[in-house]
Structure 1
């Protein structure tokens, strides 16, 4: 399951204290030995590994906000950090009051949420919402969990990210990596052509995605999820999925980890939206008759990559929350499009990366879907 964005690749980084201090001029001064301290290594859910394509800038952090709540729910810290360019990690040190449980809310790229709605229907920017909570303010957790918005991923805009952790400060300091999770799903569509002429895809569509997401993931505390996570938080589960999928691209790894299906979308979301992509020209193959293994399929000059909101389209007659999404491909030589449910895709929770490999042969189209992956596989599932 290679959650490249998405259900995502994760590298847990451990940083020495001197490096953390040097990395951020906005950190508080080094705490005294009597102070409680929070050492945050904030990272995107997947990190770039050797041999893996560099993450695009819109999938990285351009700004970070940290909100720390006391055990009674009031705000202890509400700090915003502007980053110098797109970053995959940010180190922050905060003095905190000791001997209490805290909630730590993390956000990235809040500037790309221009219109945020809450359960009352009030509209405001996400930054305005955050700035309304000062030190000792109450009610933040309930308010932020009710926020939802219509994401705008166009033009390479940075993708909003969020997460929440609960920490028990029984010792003088907590030092760990905290991950932010993208409020988006990613699709990469690879076209491979083995016909003896170019193929023009006049359009392709993906049906039944949502148009609005909660800012914070709304994973239900249900019996299904408790059994599924087996004592872990959903972020810990997502990290483990990422670690496993970074070792192998075999779809059996995806199936073994399972699918997070029991989560919520805003009731105001339209779940029946259809994404439409325009013309894609897929070149002719390169065929070496003498050495067939050297033959290569024709590919699209620009591989279609697009982002959609977290979605939930339940499969007909499914009893466990399994979902289904339908793709249609219109090619120039046919009057009717090829229409089919995407195989191997059972849920579309945030931070999922779906790689769709479509192969044109002389008489058929082969479709292979690889969720959570950023490395194309040889086709193993055909329609």
Structure 2
């Protein structure tokens, strides 16, 4: 028996650009907090999807809490403020008074409560590495405490995306504050997670059961802050911007086009780091079987025919990962999808390398469409932005 497996890929990286509202009456805090003659107006926003069917984020992808840490030029803490939100939100507006005429680092975090154990850090108070929660780590840095930037950049953890836990998010910006007046800016927080959506379309006349589904070679630990390398490869990719600015612009442009060529031309962020003791050979196995109903075939009017459909419920999340492809010289990565399916007494295992998933950087959304065709043949399409079906651009035929 011969089996044809076709693979194509695209990754959803989309950003919703929310405009900052200048009026103080629209701020969550009517008066600036802290002391100083200058102010920061912060619109803290999640990175979200902009395509029509992806606009609604699930609650675990929104902010349930926000923390803002502002540092003086000498690295000491000016503000370390935590905000518990009334419910899941996609943005939070804040107003802070700050010391004027300084270049400040602003660290932003969301959903710290989901991280109960961190590694690689020392507290400001004890100066020793110890087991503690992310909230306890933040709580050890009071006003004027030194060393926050170095400590938080060394911090890493094993993400737990189970039971709908809010996904941790982070980012860092450098801002010039004038001698007087206000600085207003939209800041994006980036999810420390990658997202997978698997769709099944069954064109067979029989019900198909997916007994198991797995993704091989992902990592088990992530840094809280993205460790994007300052290399020539990244400098060329970002073209004078920060990696967050690059991500925002590339994602905004790709949300308006389903062209894989344009997505590929935008490039891949491949030059980043994972914690030294991260295991990047983990295999995720989907926890339940998936039943895909048979196709509804209209012989008289074939265009009215529809496949049986199913989706991985829930959508699942994996850590930011880096599994280098054998022989790659530019950091290209490779991940493998394995599925075991049954149609009656017939059973078959398919190993499907996702050929064009070239990196699995944080906040990546991988949408995979699997079409089940006649006999024991499948077609695996990973398509641009999940809105339209395109002819495969890259293919691989595998025969037994």
Query: TM-score of the superposition, structure 1-length normalised?
Result: 0.92
Question: Pick from 21, 28, 35: which aligns with 1:15?
Answer: 21
> 1:219 and 2:237 equivalent?
no
Q: Per-residue deviation at 1:344?
A: 1.9
Partner of 1:101: 103
Match of 1:177 among 172, 186, 211: 186
Q: How far did residue 20 of structure 1 move?
A: 3.1
> Residues of 1 paired with 2:18 and 2:322: CA distance?
30
Gap change, CA 1:255 and 1:57, over 3 Å in 2: same
Q: What SS is found at the alignment partner of 1:10?
A: coil
User: Residue in 1 aligned with 2:42?
Assistant: 40
Q: CA 1:30/1:148 → structure 2, altered by over 3 Å: closer, same or farther?
A: closer
Q: Pick the aligned partner of 1:353 from 355, 365, 369.
A: 365
Q: Distance in 2 between matches of 1:178 and 1:91?
A: 10
Partner in structure 2 of residue 314 of structure 1 = 324
Q: Tell me how far 1:8 sits from its aligned partner.
A: 2.8
Tell me the residue number matched to 1:367: 380
8 Å Cα contact 2:293/2:309 also seen in 1: yes
How big is each residue's C-alpha offset from its partner over 1:255-274, in whole Å with a ceiling of 9 and x where there is no partner?
A: 01100000000011110000
User: Where do residues 55-204 of structure 1 align in structure 2 (5 Å cutoff)?
Assistant: 55-118=57-120, 122-170=130-178, 172-204=181-213
Match of 1:246 among 234, 255, 261: 255
SS of equivalent to 1:266: coil
Whose relative contact order is higher, 1 or 2, with alpha carbons under 8 Å and at least 6 apart?
2
1:340: Cα distance to partner?
Answer: 1.9
CA contact (8 A) 1:31 1:37 kept: no
Closer, same or farther in 2 for the Cα pair 1:302/1:346, shift >3 Å? closer
Contact 2:280 2:323 in 1 (8 A): yes
CA distance in 1, matches of 2:75, 2:310: 52
Output the CA distance in 1 between the equivalents of 2:241 and 2:68: 23
Q: Deviations over 1:161-199 (max 9, x none)?
A: 000000111362211100000000000000111011111
Correspondence list, 1:259-298, <5 A = 259-277=268-286, 278-298=288-308
TM-score by length of 2: 0.89
Aligned counterpart for 1:236 among listed residues 245, 253, 257: 245
2:126 matched residue in structure 1: none
CA offsets 1:304-349 (integer angstroms, 9 cap, x no match): 5100000000000000000000111101245551112113210000
RMSD: 2.2
Preserved CA contact (<8 Å) 2:10 2:366: no
Contact 2:340 2:348 in 1 (8 A): yes
Give the secondary structure class of the aligned counterpart of 2:236: helix
- Distance in structure 2 (CA, Å) of the matches to 1:176 and 1:49: 24
Unaligned 5+ segments in structure 2 are 1-8, 123-128
The number of aligned residues is 376
- Contact 1:310–1:348, Cα closer than 8 Å, also in 2: yes
Unpaired segments of 5 or more residues in structure 1?
none
User: Which consecutive segments of 4 or more residues in structure 1 shift more than 4 A?
Assistant: 1-4, 47-51, 301-304, 333-336
What secondary structure does 1:348 align onto? coil
More displaced stretch, 50-59 vs 205-214 = 50-59
For residues 387 and 70 of structure 2, the distance between their equivalents in structure 1, rounded to whole angstroms, comes to 37
The CA deviation at 1:134 is 0.6
In 1, the alpha carbon distance for the partners of 2:229 and 2:250 equals 19
C-alpha deviation, 1:10, in angstroms: 2.5
**1:340 corresponds to:** 352
